[in-house]
Amino acid sequence: MANAAEAPHLYVLPSALADVSRAIVELVERVRPSVVQVRAHGRGVGAGVVWDGGGLIVTNHHVVGDERGPFQVVLADGRSVPGQVVAWHPAADLALMSVPVAGLQAATFGDSGRLRVGQLVFAIGHPWGQPGVVTAGIVSGTGDVPVRWGGRPVELIRSDVRLAPGNSGGPLIDAEGRVTGINSMIFGGDLSVAIPSNLVQRWLDGLRARDRAA
């Protein structure tokens, strides 16, 4: 039997835990200004992520449906402004909204293709109408669902972050504060699933290319 001196040293210095805790707090404080609340008449409350400081916000299609609004969007500073749906993609559960406000803090989108199972992630949203709630977990897997987009199945990020009604449309962020997915609760038969940021970016880039060509 190994004595105490030979046993593996598993003690974590309290100062190291405090450093981790402070880093998470700073990460959340950095991202929260880019998370909004979307209030849709007759459809409850969802979340959204500021994609462009000029007033463009990404959310889930199922949060807004096929309606153009207006909806009420509550910004991180508490202001409530009208929001209009300007594009949507039901198959990918994505929608793009516009609000008449400039100078918003846009989120930083990361590369979802670099996510690995076991990686730490966080969700920010408004479960049951409670604003700005943060939950944490790890990536538990990725996989396709039987919804096809562009001839290919949609791939989702699965994690064990806790989601509830009101989280839909909010960000799944990595340990560096980059948005790696848009949380959705209707795909895959799981509760904690997110649409990968690379898919979101591909759709948004396509919208920009279409607008330039118009």
Of 61, 62, 89, 126, which is the active-site residue? 62
Q: Is 175 within 8 Å of 188 (Cβ atoms)? A: no
For residues 51 and 70, the answer to whether their CB atoms sit within 8 Å is: no
- Listed in sequence order, the DSSP H helices in the chain are 14-31, 61-64, 197-213
| Alpha helix ranges (H) inside 84-160 | none
Catalytic entry in 34, 93, 112, 174: 93
Q: What angle do CA 61, 65, 70 make, to 5 degrees?
A: 105
Contact (CB, 8 A) for 169 and 62:
no
Question: 9 an active-site residue?
Answer: no
Residue tagged active-site, from 34, 112, 159, 168: 168
Active site residue 62: yes
3-class secondary-structure state, position 91: helix
Known active-site residue 159: no
- Is the Cβ–Cβ distance between 181 and 195 less than 8 Å? yes
For residue 158, list its beta bridge partners.
Answer: 141, 193
Letter for the amino acid at 25? V
Q: How far, in Å, CA of 139 to CA of 156, rounded?
A: 11
Catalytic residues: 62, 93, 168
